[in-house]
Amino acid sequence: MSNDVSSLRLQDAWRECERNIYHLCGALTSLGSILPMTGERLEHLTDAQVQALDQFILRFTKLQDAMGGRLFPAILQYLREQYEERPMLDKLNRLEKLGYIQSAEAWQNIRNTRNKFAHDYPDDWEKNAALINVACEAAADMYNILAGIEKKLKIDLPLLELGKALTVAYPKNRPVANKIDD
């Protein structure tokens, strides 16, 4: 594949991640007054808070999917690494070795958090609140991964046009995550 095509694929994946992190941070800012989440707070959310929480969950899921499914493979492809047919863990380990992510294991934890959103615990407010708090921590980790990738790409590939830089700051109202009982 030509470098022009792989460059466009990387730029497109980057823009998708950038859009999702922007809206994810906006949702977190809207939720700031009720974070860290508790079961009681979750049970008594206003309609506006439910919408902000839904936006957070949607953008968290979309960002994780975009990073793992598009951005990471696009980076490897742009670097001409032959990892298209390899398992995701191999891709993560290679990205870690190249310095684009700090830990393949940390990414697996983010992925596991994302997968827990697929399960609904309608009568367990505390468990759902704990999951939201863990996801807020994982969202901060994804933000930091994106910031690290942006920095590394600018150093390693200064001619690559990513578009605008990460223009949103991660909200400071980061909750302390509670353990989720499986």
**Where residue 117 falls among pLDDT bands split at 50, 70, 90?**
confident
pLDDT at 173 (0 to 100): 55
Phi and psi at residue 123, in whole multiples of 5°?
-105, 10
pLDDT at 182 (0 to 100): 45
Question: Residue 2: is its pLDDT beyond 90?
Answer: no
Phi and psi at residue 47, in whole multiples of 5°?
-60, -40
Domains and CATH numbers, the chain: 3-156 (1.20.120)
Handedness of CA 76, 24, 60, 106 (dihedral sign): positive
Give the separation between CA 17 and CA 20, rounded to whole angstroms. Answer: 5
pLDDT digits (tens, 9 = 90+) for 39-75: 999 999 999 999 999 999 999 999 999 999 999 999 9
Question: Residue 161: is its pLDDT beyond 90?
Answer: no
pLDDT digits (tens, 9 = 90+) for 122-155: 789 999 999 999 999 999 999 999 999 999 988 8
pLDDT digits (tens, 9 = 90+) for 84-111: 889 999 999 999 999 999 999 999 999 9
